[in-house]
Amino acid sequence: MARFHDLPLHSPEYATLTQIRYGVGIDRDSERAVDQIKFDFEIVPAKTDFAFELTLENPRPQDLGLIAIGLQEFISGMVPLGGIRSRGLGQCHLEDVVMAQVDFTQPAALKNYLVNGWPQSQPLGNFIEQQITALQFAGGGNDA
């Protein structure tokens, strides 16, 4: 199971810097504004930092490969988030990605977790490449 947590602001000072933008409804057939269809939307300034967290429970090897592909897409900035993306909003990317892992099937790891809590986060290193390579071989490894 993959759990994507809420994205809280990394720096609280951005919380008061939201902006309100305005829009009007457009009739797609006539390409004209529709009377009395005005709407507002709230945005945060560009470069606003959020804290991204993803938790995986009991991932299978192919789950790790798919998560690695998704993380790579986020790191590359290929996944816009939120509404009104067609107007260029929601552009984002991940930076300084780290991971922590606990294997609860290993008694020593379980004991260490129960006594000390989550282990220190480590840089991703080659995690993405290793998982995508493993996924590729699991699927037959055809390089078409």
Q: What are the extents of the domains in the chain?
A: 2-138
Kindly tell me the sign of the dihedral angle through the C-alpha atoms of 127, 132, 137, 138: positive
Model pLDDT for residues 49-96, shown as the tens digit of each residue? 888 999 999 899 899 999 999 999 999 999 888 888 877 788 889 999
Q: What would the two tokens of residue 40 be?
A: 């507002």
Give the residue-averaged pLDDT of 20-34. 87
pLDDT digits (tens, 9 = 90+) for 82-135: 888 877 788 889 999 999 888 888 899 889 999 999 888 988 888 999 998 998
Token representation of residue 137: 């071989």
Around Cβ 42, how many Cβ atoms within 10 Å?
A: 8
